[in-house]
Structure 1
Amino acid sequence: MGKYFGTDGFRGEANVVLTVEHAFKVGRYLGWYFGQEHKARIVIGKDTRRSSYMFEYALAAGLTASGADAYLLHVTTTPSVSYVVRTEDFDCGIMISASHNPFYDNGIKVINGAGHKIEAEVEQEVEAYIDGEVEELPLATGESIGRTIDYAAGRNRYIGHLISVATRSFKDMRVGLDCSNGSASSIAKSVYDALGAKTFVINSEPDGTNINTNCGSTHIEILQQYAKDNKLDVAFAFDGDADRCIAVDENGSVVDGDLILYVCGKYLMEQGRLEGNTIVTTIMSNLGLYKACDKIGMKYEQTAVGDKYVYENMLQNGFVLGGEQSGHVIFSKHARTGDGILTSLMIMEVIMEKKMSLGKLTEEVQIYPQLLKNVRVTDKTVARENPAMKAAVDSVAAALGDDGRILVRESGTEPVIRVMVEAATDEICEKYVDQVIKVIEAEGLCAN
C-alpha cells in the first residue's frame, strides 16, 4: 500500500486526513496523465456525505485546470461509475465515498478505463505529485481548459442496465430495501419498482450526515426487524456506496456474503454457468461455507482479504463469481467490482427461477460461530513471527482439527494483529482466541 492510497482508495476524515487540496491535486494529476495524447474524459460520482460536494468540485477544478473534461454523475453508486467508465469510453472514473465509514470520513477511489481499480503504479505517481516530488504540471490555457458536464444520463443508463439483468418480473414479491441513506437511495427503488416488486424502502432520506448511521449493511438488525414486522419475502441492505449487499430472508435471518456465494454459486453450477465449478472466497470466509461446498462438489479458491484480490483471482482464472463475507460480491459477467444492487438482483433470480424462499436456499449451510479479536502491538511483523505465538496458534489448530480453524493475520492499515477462531460453539471460540492473546501479552508484544 502507498502513503495515501490503501486497498480501497485514499480514505480518511474529511479535511483532516483527506483534504480539499489533496482532491484538487488528484484531479490535476489525473487530468494531465490521461490528457497527454488527447483531451481526457473523466467521469465523477459521489455518495451522500456532506463533504462529497466539496471534493467533487475540487476534483473537477483540478481536472479542468489540467485540460480534462469532467463528467458529473452526481449522487450514484461505486459500481455505476465502473459501468459507465467501461461502457462509454472514459479514460477513468473517480468515486467520492468512504463506503461503510461514518459520514465525517470520505474517500477518493480511482477506476481505470476497463472498470477496475486503478493500477498501483498510477496511484504511486499521484502520491509523488501530492508530495511535491515531481515538477509542477502545466496548466491548460485558452481552448485547452477543460469543462464540467452534467452527466446524470450515465446514471440512468446504469439503472437501465440493472433492470435488463433480471430474468423475470418480481410481481407479488414483497421486497425490502435498506439504502443506508447513501448512494442506493437514488437508484435501488427505481429498479425494483420497474421490475414490479411491492417495494418497502427504509433509510432512503440522506441529509449529508446520516449515511450508515444505524442503518444499512453494517447495522443489519434494523432490516431484520423491519422484514419481520412487514412480513417481507426478502430484503436487502446496502452500504454507503452500494458496492455491498447483505440479505435478510423471510424469517428475518441474515444472509451474508458467504451464504450469497453458496446460493448463487450452486444455482450457476446447476445451470452450467459456473466456470470451473469454482467460487472465489477470501481467507475470512466461514468454514461452514467450505463444508457445504464440499458436499455438492463446488470448488473454491481463497485469496487475501479484499475484493481487489478476489477480482484479480477471478480475472486470472476466468472465474465468474467471487466475494467476501462482508457482502462484496462480484458477478464478472455483469460487473468488474462488487455491486450491491446487482447482487440483490442475482439473488432474486435464484428465488424466482427455483421457486424457493431464500431461507430454504440457505438451509444446507451450517455457519460456524466465529470470533475475531484485535490486539494492538508494537510491531506487527515481530509479533507475527514470534515463536511462542506461532506455537500457540499451532496448538489451537491441532486441538480444533477438522471441527474448526484459527486464523491470525496482520491488519493492512493499523499496528494490529487479528486473531480469529471458528468452532462449533461460541464458548470454544472464546477459549482459543483468549488462549492465543494471553501468549501475545506474556511475550510483551502488546503496545502500551
Structure 2
Amino acid sequence: MGTLFGTDGIRGRVNQYPMTPEMALRIGKTAAVFFRDKTSHKHPKIVIGRDTRLSGGMIESALVSGLCSQGADTYLADVLPTPGVAHLTTHLAADAGIVVSASHNPFYDNGIKFFNSRGFKLSDALENDMELWILDDHKKPPVIEDKAIGKIFPVSDAGMIYSNFLLNALPPDIKTRIGGMKIVLDCSNGATSTIAPNLFSRLGVEVIPLSTSPDGININDACGSQYPETLAKKVLASGSDIGFAFDGDGDRLIAVDETGNILTGDQLIAIFARFYHQHHLMENQTVVTTVMSNMGLGKALSDMQVTHLKTTVGDRYVMEQMVASGAHLGGEDSGHIIFLDAHTTGDGILAALQFLRVLVSENTVASQLANVMTVFPQILMNVTVNAKPAISDIKGLPEAITIIEKQLGDTGRVLIRYSGTQPMCRIMVEASTKTEATHFCGQLTEIIKIQIGT
C-alpha cells in the first residue's frame, strides 16, 4: 500500500483530501491514460458504478470528466453493487471497472476502487504504479484532440444483467426448491436495496425487506451487515426461515438463522466448506481466509481435512492467494465470501443464494448447518488514532502483548493492526471465555488510547 491506496482502493471523508472532486478528476485522467496503455482499443472502455451515498454523483461526475477528457469511453451503471460492476466489466468486455463507494463506512466517507478487464481488483504493484502517476505533478496527461475525447454511455439494464448472472449461478433444480421460503433482507440502504428484493422475489421467495429506502445519508446507519441485531429481531418476529444482511456496496454477507442467532463470515465459510467437501466440489481441498479468522474455523477445517491458508487482511489478498493455490472458496469473517468458480470478487447476494442452495440441498434448517463450527469467544475493539506508528514502537504495548499471550497459551491469541481505510487501530483477542477475551482486549485498548488515541 502507498499513501493514496489502502486495503480497498482510495477512501476518505468527502470534500477532504483525497476524496475531493479535484482529486477525483485527476484520478479519472490518470486512469484513462493508465488503462489506455494496456488496451488495443482506440478509446479505453471504463465501467462505473456507485452505491447510494449522497456524494456518489459528485465523485462519479468528476471521475467521468477526467476519463472522457483523456479519451476514455465511460459506461455508467448508476447504482450497482460492487460485484455487479466487476461482472459488468467482463460482460461488456471493458478495459476496467470503477466503483464509487466506501463500502461499510458511514455516508460522509466515499471511495474509489478499480477492477481490471478480467473483473479482479488491482494488485498492489498496479495500484502503486497508478499512485505514482496520480501524485506526480510532472506527469501531466497529454492534451487530447477535440475529436478524440471520450463518450458517455448509460447502461440502463445493468441491474438486470447482474441479476441474471446471479441466478445463472444456481442449479435449475435448486431455483425451484427455494420458492415459498420466507426471508428477511437487510440491504443497509445501499446498493442492493432494489436488486436484492427483486431477485429473491423472482425465485418465488416471500421477501421481508429492511433498510431498502436509501436517502443518501442513511446508508450503513445502524443497519446492514455491521448491525445484524435488528435483522435478528425481525427474523424471529416474522417467523422467517433465514435473514441476510448486506453492507452498503453489497460485497459482504452476514446471516441470521431461524432462531435469531447471527452467523458470521467465518461460520458461513465453514458451512460452505463442508458442503463443497461432501459434494466433491472442492478440487484441491483448500480454503483461504485472513489472519483475522476465528480459531474455530481453523479447527472445523482441520476436522474436515481441508487445508487452511491465511493472508493479510483484505479480500483482494484472499483472492490473490486463491488464484495462486487453486482454491475455489475463501473469504473474511467480516462477510466477504468468494466463490472463485462463480465470480472474481466477494459478493453478498451470490453468497446468500449459495447458502440457500446448501439449505435446500441438505433439507435442513440454518441453525443445524451452523453446528459445523464452534466459535471461539472473540472480542474486537477499535481505537481512533492520530498516527500509525509500528505496533512494536507503541510504549508499553509489546510487553503487554507478551504477558497476555503467555496467559492465553494455546487457547487464544492477540492480533493488533491498523485499518487500511480509516484512522483506526483494531485490537482483537480470542480466548476460551468471553470474559477473558474482553478483559485482555480492554487492557490493550487502553494502552493504545493513551499513547496514540485522539
TM-superposed deviation, 1:365 = 1.9
- 2:29 aligned with 1:28, yes or no? yes
What residue is the counterpart of 2:431 in the other structure?
423
- 2:339 aligned with 1:354, yes or no? no
> Secondary structure of the equivalent of 2:157?
helix
TM-superposed deviation, 1:438 = 7.0
TM-superposed deviation, 1:437 = 5.7
Which stretch of the first structure deviates more once superposed, 347-356 or 399-408? 399-408
Is the Cα contact below 8 Å between 1:266 and 1:298 reproduced in 2?
A: no
For residues 136-215 of structure 1, the aligned pairs below 5 Å read 136-167=140-171, 168=174, 169=176, 170-215=178-223
Percent identical across equivalent pairs? 38
Q: Which one-letter code corresponds to 1:344 in the other structure? A: A
- 2:133 aligned with 1:124, yes or no? no
Q: Which one-letter code corresponds to 1:296 in the other structure? A: M
Q: Distance in 1 between matches of 2:237 and 2:377?
A: 27
Q: Distance in 2 between matches of 1:44 and 1:410?
A: 29
Q: 1:265 and 1:135, CA in 2 relative to 1: closer, same or farther beyond 3 A? A: same
What residue is the counterpart of 1:86 in the other structure?
90
Q: Distance in 2 between matches of 1:191 and 1:319?
A: 28
> Secondary structure of the equivalent of 2:372?
coil
TM-superposed deviation, 1:308 = 1.5
Q: 1:131 and 1:399, CA in 2 relative to 1: closer, same or farther beyond 3 A? A: closer
Is the Cα contact below 8 Å between 2:81 and 2:192 reproduced in 1?
A: yes
Give the root-mean-square deviation of aligned CA atoms. 2.3
Q: 1:434 and 1:246, CA in 2 relative to 1: closer, same or farther beyond 3 A? A: closer
- 2:235 aligned with 1:227, yes or no? yes
TM-superposed deviation, 1:411 = 4.4
What residue is the counterpart of 1:300 in the other structure?
308
Aligned match for 1:380, one of 373, 383, 389 = 389
Which stretch of the first structure deviates more once superposed, 343-352 or 22-31? 22-31
Q: Which one-letter code corresponds to 1:227 in the other structure? A: V
Is the Cα contact below 8 Å between 1:217 and 1:238 reproduced in 2?
A: yes
> Secondary structure of the equivalent of 2:142?
coil
What residue is the counterpart of 1:104 in the other structure?
108
Q: Distance in 1 between matches of 2:445 and 2:213?
A: 43
Q: Which one-letter code corresponds to 2:371 in the other structure? A: E
What residue is the counterpart of 2:323 in the other structure?
315
Is the Cα contact below 8 Å between 1:380 and 1:417 reproduced in 2?
A: no
What residue is the counterpart of 1:49 in the other structure?
53
Q: Gaps (5+ residues) in structure 2?
A: none
TM-score by length of 1: 0.93
TM-superposed deviation, 1:445 = 5.1
What residue is the counterpart of 2:224 in the other structure?
216
Q: 1:189 and 1:251, CA in 2 relative to 1: closer, same or farther beyond 3 A? A: same
For residues 379-418 of structure 1, the aligned pairs below 5 Å read 380-381=389-390, 383-384=391-392, 389-412=397-420, 418=426
> Secondary structure of the equivalent of 2:192?
helix
Is the Cα contact below 8 Å between 2:8 and 2:421 reproduced in 1?
A: no
Q: 1:69 and 1:392, CA in 2 relative to 1: closer, same or farther beyond 3 A? A: same
Q: Distance in 1 between matches of 2:426 and 2:226?
A: 19
Deviations 1:345-400 (Å, cap 9, x if unpaired)?
A: 1101100111111110002322121123346586632x426796445434433322
- 2:5 aligned with 1:5, yes or no? yes
For residues 264-283 of structure 1, the aligned pairs below 5 Å read 264-283=272-291
Q: Distance in 2 between matches of 1:446 and 1:52?
A: 32
Q: Distance in 2 between matches of 1:366 and 1:281?
A: 17
TM-superposed deviation, 1:316 = 0.6
For residues 60-75 of structure 1, the aligned pairs below 5 Å read 60-75=64-79
> Secondary structure of the equivalent of 2:76?
strand
Deviations 1:251-305 (Å, cap 9, x if unpaired)?
A: 1110110000000010001111113222111111111222222233233111111
Is the Cα contact below 8 Å between 1:377 and 1:417 reproduced in 2?
A: no
> Secondary structure of the equivalent of 1:114?
coil
Which stretch of the first structure deviates more once superposed, 194-203 or 92-101? 194-203
Q: Distance in 2 between matches of 1:137 and 1:296?
A: 54
Q: 1:196 and 1:378, CA in 2 relative to 1: closer, same or farther beyond 3 A? A: closer
Is the Cα contact below 8 Å between 2:270 and 2:372 reproduced in 1?
A: no
Q: Distance in 2 between matches of 1:16 and 1:378?
A: 18
Q: Distance in 2 between matches of 1:296 and 1:277?
A: 9
> Secondary structure of the equivalent of 1:177?
strand
Q: 1:403 and 1:68, CA in 2 relative to 1: closer, same or farther beyond 3 A? A: same
Q: Which one-letter code corresponds to 2:271 in the other structure? A: V
TM-superposed deviation, 1:333 = 0.7
Q: 1:318 and 1:437, CA in 2 relative to 1: closer, same or farther beyond 3 A? A: same
Q: Which one-letter code corresponds to 1:195 in the other structure? A: L
Q: Gaps (5+ residues) in structure 1?
A: none
Q: Which one-letter code corresponds to 1:231 in the other structure? A: G
- 2:20 aligned with 1:19, yes or no? yes
Q: Which one-letter code corresponds to 1:105 in the other structure? A: D
- 2:255 aligned with 1:247, yes or no? yes
Q: Distance in 1 between matches of 2:49 and 2:414?
A: 40
Is the Cα contact below 8 Å between 1:81 and 1:95 reproduced in 2?
A: yes
Q: Which one-letter code corresponds to 2:145 in the other structure? A: T
